């Protein structure tokens, strides 16, 4: 494959194909992050990798770039499997891999619990290049014969320590033992910490892995200003309102210890007409995904959540983290406040601590090696001006933030074609009809998604209008069909 050489993009130092390099450029990735610099040369060489790195370090791209680069477009069965501990992480990682492989037109389905199995089955039974999923649902699809791992040449175990905490290690081991039809896939494991159980997996299944340790001794980023407020439970809600008025955060995550507290706080803030959303494990999967995507889009600026959102999830531009309930596990303090101050930005982390919670604060301080200073809130009466500013922000018109992948959309036009699986229309029929249009070839066709009675196809290189016009009178599998332009 062609090697991209471009002096302004240091990803050009690696032997990656032009379509991947171009996607990275469009995504705005100019310089590889430290974890990418450490992983890429070895992963591209085919070495197994064990990397200890923090979330938010760019580790998804560190494994996604080599995989997307090596995966062959013309194969039907999945060539790579990426295991994620939570559904939200699975979706986020799928999006990143999909973006990186956008120019190569790879299909990257995601499978996880809480959503209908059958719908996912239909998707993964079509041509799939890279499958991302949570262990339980992956095994479910393997056992149902929907997911065949014989051709898997790359396997990623992401957030391995969290997999372990959540009790998924046996499932992970089972999947690893089944992948690759006798030939062991290239294994890449990423973990925030290394524990004996993870070592066992490494010893058992990896061949001479390259070990990469990037985590420095400092557990919390320098750019995060941390402080605590001594607050008893009955004063806490008032204190939170004062804090929010005082800080008027651009984007904040407010952590509670329980689902019930998330619900309660959400209702209370809504009653005060403060725009916010909530996320916890007791919500329907659909609602959980909407909560994250609305927050990312900027539909609301405050997310109230349990520790579900503390790990891995990439919610960029978080300016404030507020521990409404102080975390009872010291590691969670580090994960929670690590949602801010990312990628060289600064951030603030505030915690409410009651007398009963003092020992948790001390435990965290011993763990992170610094004292978290106490602060006091100003009197509510002194916040009148700020109150108006805060209220104004609550009434501001929402300006939707574009998803990162939106940069690809302008070059892609999407068509819908009447007919699908029920009328035995296949992706090959669609390719055939489109390639019969003069001046259009396979390289102009993006993702094809065949549903029950409708098929969606992406047309690249600005040829969508041409294909749309031609297919108004040309047959697709022997029949002229209803073909429409679809808005992305």
Contact positions toward ligand AMP, by CB under 6 A? Answer: 29, 31-33, 36, 55-61, 96, 314, 316
Which residue has 């200003």 as its token pair?
225
Query: Residue 297 Cβ, how far from ligand AMP at the closest point, in Å?
Result: 15
- Closer by beta carbon to ligand AMP, 53 or else 332: 53
Per-residue buried b or exposed e for 269-280, using 16+ beta carbons within 10 Å of the residue's own CB: beeeebebbbbb
61 close to 100: Cβ distance less than 8 angstroms: yes
Q: Closest CB to ligand AMP among 31 and 402?
A: 31
Q: How far is the CB of 97 from ligand AMP (least distance, A)?
A: 10
CA distance 209 to 186: 10
Give the whole-angstrom CA distance, residue 420 versus residue 449: 9
The answer for residues whose C-beta is within 8 angstroms of residue 139's C-beta and 6 or more apart is 171, 174, 175
Distance CA 102, CA 359 (A): 49
Q: Which is nearer to ligand AMP, 192 or 454 (CB)?
A: 192
**With respect to ligand AMP, which residue has the nearer C-beta, 60 or 186?**
60
Find the shortest distance in angstroms from Cβ 418 to ligand AMP.
37
Shortest Å, Cβ 219 to ligand AMP: 17
Instruction: Compute the radius of gyration of the chain from its Cα atoms.
Output: 24
Instruction: Provide the angle, in degrees to the nearest 10, between the axes of the packed helices 236-247 and 384-395.
Output: 80
Find the angle CA(305)-CA(119)-CA(91) to the nearest 5 degrees: 35
CA distance 137 to 120: 10
Nearer to ligand AMP, 61 or 244 (CB): 61
Is the CB of 84 or the CB of 429 nearer to ligand AMP? 84
Min CB(30)–ligand AMP separation in Å: 6
> Among residues 176 and 192, whose Cβ is nearest to ligand AMP?
192
**Of the candidates 450, 447, 449, which has an alpha carbon nearest to the alpha carbon of residue 412?**
447
Least distance in angstroms from the C-beta of 138 to ligand AMP: 20
> How far is the C-alpha of 342 from the C-alpha of 319, rounded, in Å?
9
What is the maximum span of the chain, computed from C-alpha positions, in angstroms? 76
- State in angstroms the smallest separation of the CB of 93 from ligand AMP: 8
Give min distance, CB of 14 to ligand AMP, in A: 12
**Residue 61 or 245 having the CB closest to ligand AMP:** 61
Residue with the shortest CB distance to ligand AMP: 60
First to last CA, the chain: 31
Compute the least distance from the CB of residue 57 to ligand AMP, in Å: 5
Q: Which residues of 456-480 are buried (b: 16+ CB within 10 A; e: fewer)?
A: bbbbbeebbebbbebbeeeebbeee
Q: Which C-beta is closer to ligand AMP: that of 32 or that of 327?
A: 32
Tokens of 165: 């905490």
């Amino acid at each position: 494959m062609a090697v991209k050489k471009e002096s302004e993009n240091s990803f050009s130092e690696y032997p990656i194909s032009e379509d991947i390099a171009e996607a990275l450029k469009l995504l705005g990735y100019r310089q590889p992050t430290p974890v990418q610099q450490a992983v890429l040369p070895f992963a591209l060489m085919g070495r197994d990798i064990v990397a200890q790195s923090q979330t938010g370090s760019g580790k998804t791209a560190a494994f996604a770039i080599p995989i997307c680069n090596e995966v062959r477009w013309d194969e039907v069965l999945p060539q790579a499997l990426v295991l994620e501990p939570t559904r939200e992480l699975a979706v986020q990682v799928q999006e990143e891999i999909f973006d990186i492989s956008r120019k190569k037109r790879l299909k990257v389905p995601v499978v996880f619990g809480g959503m209908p199995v059958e719908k996912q089955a239909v998707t993964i039974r079509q041509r799939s290049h890279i499958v991302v999923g949570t262990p339980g649902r992956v095994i479910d699809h393997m056992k149902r014969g929907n997911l065949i791992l014989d051709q898997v040449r790359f396997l990623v175990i992401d957030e391995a320590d969290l997999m372990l905490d959540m009790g998924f290690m046996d499932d992970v081991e089972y999947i690893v033992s089944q992948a690759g039809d006798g030939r062991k896939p290239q294994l890449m494991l990423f973990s925030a910490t290394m524990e004996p159980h993870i070592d066992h997996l490494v010893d058992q299944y990896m061949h001479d892995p390259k070990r990469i340790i990037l985590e420095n001794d400092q557990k919390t980023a320098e750019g995060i200003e941390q402080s605590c407020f001594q607050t008893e439970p009955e004063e806490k809600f008032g204190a939170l309102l004062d804090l929010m008025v005082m800080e008027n955060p651009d984007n904040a995550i407010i952590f509670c210890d329980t689902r019930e507290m998330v619900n309660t706080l959400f209702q209370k803030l809504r009653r005060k007409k403060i725009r916010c959303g909530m996320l916890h494990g007791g919500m329907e999967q659909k609602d959980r995904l909407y909560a994250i995507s609305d927050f990312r889009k900027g539909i609301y600026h405050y997310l109230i959540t349990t520790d579900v959102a503390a790990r891995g999830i990439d919610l960029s531009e978080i300016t404030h983290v507020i521990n409404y309930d102080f975390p009872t596990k010291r590691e969670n303090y580090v994960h929670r406040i690590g949602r801010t101050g990312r990628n060289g930005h600064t951030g603030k982390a505030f915690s409410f601590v009651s007398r009963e919670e003092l020992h948790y604060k001390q435990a965290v301080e011993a763990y992170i090696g610094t004292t978290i200073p106490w602060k006091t809130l100003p009197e509510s009466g002194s916040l009148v001006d700020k109150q108006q500013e805060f209220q104004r922000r609550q009434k501001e018109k929402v300006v939707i933030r574009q998803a990162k992948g939106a940069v690809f959309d302008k070059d892609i036009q999407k068509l819908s074609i009447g007919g699908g699986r029920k009328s035995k229309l296949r992706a090959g029929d669609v390719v055939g009809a489109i390639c019969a249009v003069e001046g259009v070839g396979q390289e102009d066709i993006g993702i094809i998604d065949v549903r029950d009675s409708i098929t969606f196809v992406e047309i690249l290189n600005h040829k969508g209008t041409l294909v749309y016009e031609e297919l108004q009178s040309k047959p697709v599998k022997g029949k002229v069909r209803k073909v429409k332009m679809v808005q992305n």
